[in-house]
Amino acid sequence: MCNFGDLVTDPVNREPLGNHQPHLPIADIEDRAKRTDIMLDSFSAETLARIQFAFTVSFHIIFPALSIGLASFLAVLNGLWMKTRDQTYLTLFNYWKKIFAVAFGMGVVSGIVMSYQFGTNWSVFSDKAGPVVGPLMAYEVLSAFFLEAGFLGIMLFGRERVGEKLHMFATAMVAFGTLMSATWILSVNSWMQTPAGFSIAENGQFIPEDWWQIVFNPSFPYRLVHMVLAAFLTTSLVVGAVGALHLLRDRSDQEARRMFSMAMWMAAIVTPLQIYAGDMHGLNTLEYQPAKVMAMEGHYESHPDGAPLILFGIVNQAERQIDYALEIPKLSSLILKHSLNAPLDGLDTIPDDEEPPVAIVFYSFRVMVGLGFAMLGLGLWSLWARYRGTLFTTPWLHRAAILMGPTGFIAVLAGWITTEVGRQPYTVYGLLRTSDSLAPVAAPAVATSLVAFIIVYFFVFGAGTYYLLQMMNKRPATPRLGLRDGPIRTAGITPAQQIEEDFTPGEKDTAQ
């Protein structure tokens, strides 16, 4: 008699057919388990939390880098219009204030997320450093952000309602507020890099002792100047790229000429100042965070008789050396110690667990510096073209300006990667390790929120960035059609547009 069970089971292995799985050798099973363990170890809760914060802060810094510079640019445009009554300045003000409003809004939204991460992923850091960091961040909200938010509406919509002088004051206050915001935030970051003015309680908390030393800690002045100049330079490159785009379309566009000229002046003046500020910042870093400079320079070994400047190479962490290094002998000692034969310590002088990730710091530093000198080249080219009277008639200069448009953001990101990765393995340098700052969170929970952030950020901020690019693609001024604000309406006659008195048929912008 046929057994019903025989019809639904494998006749060889006597297993249910629907659940039949091929048998794996024990060695394969163990190998897969090892690979899974390695994968989980590589993406621990700490690693995922660091990736999440790096992702959100990288998105955030793009918008303040633009809004800090644009706010000051708008104040200059408004002041020049009030002084000269040149309509071009007013047109540019109205054009860029819309772009500023969008960038400012996205900067605020992206910044809120980071504050929550201090409480969710980094609660131990918040507990230990909260007595110092908390008040500084509160001051930023109470002073700078309230100042910006209070006057932003007047700047955007109040010209015809409050009068020119009050409108100018509001614009200046928005610009001042963005600078104040940068001041407080950079003070917090600088204190984490070079802590000062505190004591440590028995429970491990940092207790404020001298707020002057906390705010004006050793690296703060250098970092503030370096970042503000970076914001101005980033803005000048964006404005210059937009002006160059419209000049390629129409060389006679007065607004495009004006914004391109102003942007190139800023690039030519600020870039050398930024290079000097960066050099001074580097010397300060060498004094207080020597391991970071060692990683930036790629110096695995000490150089007692003068260290070379490695222009580029391939980091070989396994062999602890820079392969295929293109270097200039003793130039690093000259830059950092102002002496060709000055000794420089290498990473061989510090413990392995104190060493930052060399490859990331080494490459990001070279991206920042390389782009900085490219900006210097653009500024010098613009000066030469201006001297020859061809600033508005050199298409290759305009194409180069467009190409350089986004490089300010890239340089800012590369600089912050150098700064933040270079201080590892610490959150508060030399005192509180990153691994000890993490909240008791599970890796799957952090991974889930990271994926959610990536999806939401790319959707929301991708749409916002696309909208910004669309606005920049439009001309600053409506084509001058020789028309007044409205038609003349005469009874029984189709409304006709009135021609201005100085309108001449055949002009470039005549209605077709």
Q: What is the pLDDT of residues 42-83, one digit of tens each?
A: 678 889 999 999 999 998 899 999 999 999 999 999 999 999
CA distance 324 to 425: 28
Q: Are strands 309-316 and 321-328 parallel, antiparallel or unpaired?
A: antiparallel
Average pLDDT over residues 491-508: 44
Count other Cβ atoms within 10 Å, centred on residue 408.
Answer: 28
Is the pLDDT confidence value at 497 over 50? no
pLDDT at 487: 44
pLDDT-above-70 percentage for the chain: 85
Contacts of 115 (CB under 8 A, 6+ apart): 137
Distance linking the first and last C-alpha atoms of the chain: 95
Tell me if residue 440 falls in helix, strand or coil.
coil
Q: Which of 9-23, 254-268, 373-387 has the lowest mean pLDDT?
A: 9-23
Q: For tokens 């400079």, what's the residue?
A: 293
Q: For tokens 């002045």, what's the residue?
A: 221
pLDDT at 39: 53
Mean pLDDT (the chain, rounded): 85
pLDDT at 41: 54
Report whether 114 contacts 453 (CB < 8 A): no
Average pLDDT over residues 307-327: 91
pLDDT at 112: 83
pLDDT band for position 477 (cuts 50, 70, 90):
confident
pLDDT at 27: 56
Six token digits for residue 53: 């914060």
Average pLDDT over residues 408-413: 96
Tell me if residue 11 falls in helix, strand or coil.
coil
Contacts of 111 (CB under 8 A, 6+ apart): 60, 64
Per-residue pLDDT tens digits for 328-372: 999 999 999 888 888 999 999 999 889 999 999 999 999 999 999
Compute the Cα dihedral for 415, 358, 309, 195 and give only its sign: positive
pLDDT at 38: 53
Is the pLDDT confidence value at 511 over 80? no
Per-residue pLDDT tens digits for 92-119: 999 999 999 999 988 888 888 888 888 8
Highest mean pLDDT among 105-119, 150-164, 232-246: 232-246
Q: Which amino acid is at 218?
A: P
pLDDT at 268: 96
Instruction: Please state, in angstroms and as integers, the Cα–Cα distance from residue 511 to each residue in 474, 494, 503, following that order.
Output: 18, 18, 11
Is the pLDDT confidence value at 502 over 50? no
pLDDT at 28: 59
Among the listed residues 309, 326, 285, the one whose alpha carbon sits nearest the alpha carbon of residue 415: 285
Higher pLDDT, 109 or 208: 208
pLDDT band for position 512 (cuts 50, 70, 90):
very low
pLDDT band for position 492 (cuts 50, 70, 90):
very low
pLDDT band for position 11 (cuts 50, 70, 90):
very low
Task: Provide the whole-model pTM.
Answer: 0.83
Per-residue pLDDT tens digits for 242-300: 999 999 998 988 999 999 999 999 999 999 999 999 999 999 999 999 999 999 999 99
Is the pLDDT confidence value at 496 over 50? no
Per-residue pLDDT tens digits for 389-400: 999 999 999 999
b/e sequence 63-99, b meaning 16+ C-beta within 10 Å = bbbbbbbbbbbbbbbbebbeeeeeebbbbbbbbbbeb
pLDDT at 140: 87
Q: Which of 3-7, 217-221, 297-301 has the lowest mean pLDDT?
A: 3-7
Is the pLDDT confidence value at 479 over 90? no
